[in-house]
Structure formats: structure tokens, C-alpha cells
């Protein structure tokens, strides 16, 4: 597969799981009343930490698989099921609920306690971890690690991770005007479109994982 396709597929899967638009309401609540420079700093730190977290799992993913003896098809099937279940949950969920395709329950505005002393303290927790780089995003990286094991392919996935970080930074940086312009209904529509893409990717991952298993079963039975 061409490297640009690897990067594009990886970016689509990751940006859907990270879903920075779903973090906008909490970001606005946590940074309300702070200067623009502070909000920009928080957005930057959160995005960088997100990239570092995902890149760490990209580089260490193979060691985790070897340690636990997990096969590539097994994790492809599990990742596909996770993608598909999260996509279905987003597509059929009540719009009033704060669930996202990132496999985490997003914080409601009234659940967020504003950091009054040092707003930058919330950049790492909870914005970067677990709201941006949650279990869903980490699982996506682990699936991609074994789907594209070559060095050049991993570099393409790394480019996609950095691109997701840039997108997350830009979305959080423009959180205030974006929240006013898009509104809750607009955000819900975007989330559902992303969920459709995620569901299709999940089904493809399941097919990719089941195919070699079925071939092996047919060979052993024949």
C-alpha cells in the first residue's frame, strides 16, 4: 500500500477516535475567563502530550504484543469490534449525552471543575489524558502498529499522529468561536459523520483479521 494511503487511513482512524470537537465544551468551561495566551498554551500542551502518548504506543506496541503473545489478526478483530461498537453507539446515542467515539464518557460542562490557580494544569489531565488520547485512540495506534509493521509505514502513521495533534491544537485554539458557530447540533452532525467513517474502518479491520484465520482453518481441515 502506498505510504500516503497508510497515512490517510491512519489519520482518519485516529482523528475519529481522538475527536477533538467533543473536547471543545470542556475546554471552554475549563479555560473560561483566562487570557487568549493562556488558552493557546493549554491547547498546545494538551496537543503535544496527546502526540507523545500516541507516539509512545506506536513505538512500543510491538513489544507489548510480543510480551502478551497477541497475534495480529486477534488485535485487528478486537480493534474492529471496538471501532464498530463505538461508531454504533455514537450513531444511535441520544444527542444530549456526552459520549464520543473515543471510548470515553466526555465530561459534561457541570462536571468540570475549573482550575482557578493554574489553568495550564488541566492541559495534561484531563484534556490530553484521557479526553484526547483515551483508550480508543491508544487502541487505534496498537491496531495500526500491527497492520503496518514496516519502518516506513510506521513513519507514515507517525505523520498521521502529528497531523492529528495539529488538528487538535487548531480546534482547541478556536474553541470559543467554534462552539458559538457550530453549536451543539452541528457538533452532533459532525460526530455522526465521523462515526460512519469509523464504523466502516472497524468492519474492514474485522474482515482483515478474520480472513487469515479462516484461511488457516481451511488449510488445517483440508
Q: Which has the closest alpha carbon to 26: 117, 111, 116, 96?
A: 111
- Which set of grid coordinates corresponds to residue 108? 459534561
138: left (phi over 0), alpha (psi -120 to 50) or beta: alpha
Number of domains observed in the structure of the chain: 1
Cα–chain-centroid distance for residue 111?
22
Residue 20 has pLDDT above 60, yes or no: yes
How confident is the model over 92-145, as pLDDT tens digits? 865 444 444 444 444 444 444 444 435 567 898 888 987 898 777 888 898 888
Better-predicted residue by pLDDT, 174 or 177: 174
State how far the alpha carbon of 172 is from the alpha carbons of 25, 101, 141, 168, 201, in Å. Answer: 10, 18, 22, 6, 26
Q: State the average pLDDT over residues 183-189.
A: 74
What is the residue range of 123's domain? Answer: 3-221
Taking a C-beta distance cutoff of 8 angstroms, is the pair 181, 29 a contact? no
pTM above 0.85, yes or no: no
Better-predicted residue by pLDDT, 147 or 111: 147
Amino acid at each position: 500500500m502506498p505510504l500516503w494511503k497508510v497515512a490517510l487511513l491512519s489519520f482518519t482512524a485516529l482523528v475519529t477516535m481522538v475527536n477533538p470537537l467533543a473536547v471543545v465544551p470542556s475546554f471552554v468551561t475549563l479555560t473560561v475567563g483566562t487570557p487568549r495566551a493562556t488558552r493557546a498554551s493549554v491547547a498546545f500542551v494538551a496537543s503535544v502530550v496527546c502526540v507523545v502518548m500516541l507516539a509512545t504506543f506506536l513505538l512500543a506496541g510491538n513489544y507489548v504484543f510480543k510480551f502478551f503473545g497477541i497475534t495480529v489478526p486477534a488485535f485487528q478483530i478486537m480493534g474492529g469490534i471496538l471501532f464498530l461498537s463505538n461508531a454504533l453507539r455514537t450513531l444511535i446515542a441520544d444527542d444530549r449525552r456526552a459520549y464520543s467515539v473515543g471510548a470515553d464518557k466526555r465530561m459534561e460542562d457541570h462536571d468540570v471543575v475549573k482550575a482557578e490557580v493554574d489553568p495550564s494544569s488541566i492541559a495534561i489531565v484531563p484534556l490530553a489524558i484521557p479526553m484526547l488520547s483515551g483508550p480508543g485512540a491508544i487502541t487505534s495506534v496498537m491496531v495500526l502498529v500491527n497492520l503496518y509493521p514496516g519502518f516506513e509505514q510506521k513513519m507514515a502513521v507517525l505523520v498521521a499522529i502529528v497531523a492529528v495533534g495539529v488538528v487538535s491544537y487548531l480546534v482547541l485554539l478556536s474553541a470559543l468561536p467554534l462552539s458559538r458557530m457550530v453549536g451543539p447540533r452541528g457538533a452532533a452532525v459532525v460526530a455522526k459523520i465521523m462515526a460512519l467513517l469509523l464504523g466502516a474502518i472497524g468492519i474492514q479491520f474485522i474482515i482483515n483479521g478474520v480472513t487469515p484465520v479462516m484461511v488457516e482453518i481451511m488449510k488445517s481441515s483440508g
